[in-house]
Amino acid sequence: MLLKLLIASIITGLISGIFITFYELLITFMSYFIFFGNPVDTIPELPVWYIYLVPTVAIFIVNYIISRDKNVREYGVSEIADSVCENRMILTIRTLFLKVLASALSLSSGFLVGTEGPSAGIGAMIAYQVHKWFRMPAMFTKLMISVGASSGIAAIFVSPVTGLAFAFENIAYQFLKQYMGYLILSAVIAFSISLNFLEPIIFQHSHGRRVDLDYVYANLLFIPFITLFIYFYLFLKKRVLHFVDLEIFIKFSRYRNYIFALIGGSIVGTIMLIKPEAAFSGKFIVTTLINKESHIPLLLIFGVILLRIIGTTVAIYANAVGGLFLPLMSIGALIGYAFGEVMLAYHIVVEPFYFAAIGAAVFMGVLMNLPLTALILSLETTFDYNVVVATGVTVVLASYLSNLYFDIRKKASTQKEKIDAREIGKE
């Protein structure tokens, strides 16, 4: 059985690496095809009606695909594992290809969702098929899904250790001592394949192990600053979803998906018209902000933060197939960069891109309840102790402060919330 696990892990890593590479390249190809070139450059030149038509038609197609196979919808990895083990979900090759298509359509048409959710799901589906091919015992189902999820995350982020941390914090913690080697093997193989085709998020200004005390002191001010925005994100998300889902769809529940598809297409189209960079997954924003040396106007930054919060929320409820990892990172990077600009305005000499890197990891880590993943992501991305130490301290304290009012639970990233009017303060 150990030999089977070893071979199954290798095969899962190989297939996941190839599939995730194809998935990421497909998104790029489709976005260039749909928008006749790089969307950031071409969208300002395209007709307004076309900008609204693209995301609206795309999300209607995605909803149609989901109506044909509900397993295409975005689920958390732990939810997939539990559902498969309890025979509530059947993962087929057809579902795998439909998920790739639905997610590529969502992302390439401008919806503000990430690639990591589908990547983890794709890896999980591949691992489940490998599990079936090898006729492994049912007791190894959750383990193999963990192996697949870690390889999917490692491939899409071109970051093997982040993939492992993600799997550990989601469903694999009970397998740490006995089966960690198989997750490592699969993740490293998938990472090795994607490294040849995809670009990782790299921090170009790393100071390595040298710690600058100016950033340590400034980070003490950053903790309440980013916590305030976490509260704002949760409050705005809660109020918007509460109003739309309870006040509107209580009367029009039969047409919910159609109405949200129209709302989603309209909002994403508007965001692309206002600022094309504010749409899509957010990887471009993160990479730009953590490495940009020229200063960006504060008003523009806060405007894009608001657009991305609204766009991400609506994309989720419109059934766009994608995760929250990258969109939340992009919002955090914007918040961190804005903090750096505020510090400079008050003559505190810090580089905004440092806080963009910290904010990206912290915002995602707090809102997805993945502190270890946030810490390791900051380490693998920057290799800078100024970022890593600040991320570790901030993600813990911001989580504590946020949970004083909001109950942030780890759950499916796009699962629709059943919000009760009496529990507005709970997430």
DSSP 336-381: HHHHHHHHHHTT----HHHHHHHHHHHHHHHHTT-HHHHHHHHHHH
pLDDT at position 303 over 70: yes
Within a domain: 150: yes
Verify that 233 and 165 share a domain, yes or no: no
In contact, 161 and 375? CB cutoff 8 Å: no
Phi, psi of 273 (to 5 degrees): -70, -40
Model pTM score: 0.82
Verify that 95 and 225 share a domain, yes or no: no
Q: Which of 138, 159, 194 is the last residue of a domain?
A: 194
Handedness of CA 417, 286, 365, 149 (dihedral sign): positive
Cα–Cα nearest to 119, from 146, 88, 92, 151? 151
- What CATH number does the domain containing 255 carry? 1.10.3080.10
DSSP-derived 3-state class of residue 323: strand
Q: What is the pLDDT of residues 132-187, one digit of tens each?
A: 888 888 778 877 888 888 888 888 888 878 777 777 776 655 555 566 777 788 88
Percent of the chain with pLDDT over 90: 26
CB atoms within 10 A of CB 232: 14
Within a domain: 162: yes
Verify that 141 and 175 share a domain, yes or no: yes
Verify that 183 and 325 share a domain, yes or no: no
Within a domain: 199: no
The residue with tokens 């950033």 is 215
pLDDT at position 190 over 80: yes
* Alpha carbons 156 and 134: distance in angstroms, whole number: 26
Verify that 336 and 382 share a domain, yes or no: yes
Within a domain: 255: yes
Beta bridge partners of 114: 323
Verify that 50 and 135 share a domain, yes or no: yes
In contact, 154 and 187? CB cutoff 8 Å: yes
Instruction: Count H helices and E strands in the chain, helices first.
Output: 17, 0
Verify that 27 and 132 share a domain, yes or no: yes
- Report in angstroms the alpha-carbon separations of 384 from 4, 12, 176, 205: 39, 32, 27, 8
Q: Which of 159, 194, 229 is the last residue of a domain?
A: 194
Within a domain: 361: yes
| Dihedral, CA of residue 202, residue 205, residue 207 and residue 208, to nearest 10 | 10
Domain hosting residue 145, numbered range: 2-194
DSSP-derived 3-state class of residue 11: helix
How far is CA 418 from its chain centroid?
22
- pLDDT at position 410: 55
Count of the separate structural domains present in the chain: 2
CB atoms within 10 A of CB 136: 17
Q: What is the pLDDT of residues 335-388, one digit of tens each?
A: 999 999 898 888 888 888 889 999 999 999 999 888 888 998 888 888 888 888
Q: Which of 150, 165, 194 is the last residue of a domain?
A: 194
Phi, psi of 114 (to 5 degrees): -105, 170
Within a domain: 369: yes
Residue 323's Cβ-side half-sphere holds a number of Cα atoms within 13 Å equal to 26
Verify that 172 and 243 share a domain, yes or no: no
The residue with tokens 């490293």 is 188
* Alpha carbons 286 and 115: distance in angstroms, whole number: 14
CB contact set of 213 (below 8 Å; sequence gap of 6+): none
Within a domain: 205: no
* Alpha carbons 79 and 84: distance in angstroms, whole number: 8
Average pLDDT in the chain: 82
Verify that 189 and 218 share a domain, yes or no: no
Q: What is the pLDDT of residues 397-418, one digit of tens each?
A: 999 998 888 776 654 433 444 4
pLDDT at position 330 over 80: yes
- Long-range contacts formed by 197-200: CB under 8 A, 24+ apart: 197/21, 197/24, 197/25, 198/21, 198/24, 198/25, 198/155, 198/156, 198/158, 199/158, 200/157, 200/158, 200/159, 200/381
Within a domain: 43: yes
Residues belonging to the chain: 427
Verify that 328 and 250 share a domain, yes or no: yes
How far is CA 371 from its chain centroid?
14
* Alpha carbons 231 and 109: distance in angstroms, whole number: 29
Intra-chain end-to-end CA distance of the chain, in Å: 42
* Alpha carbons 206 and 77: distance in angstroms, whole number: 32
Q: Is 212 exposed, middle or buried (0-12, 13-18, 19+ CB in 10 A)?
A: middle
Verify that 137 and 262 share a domain, yes or no: no
pLDDT at position 426 over 50: no
DSSP-derived 3-state class of residue 157: coil
Percent of the chain with pLDDT over 70: 84
Verify that 25 and 174 share a domain, yes or no: yes
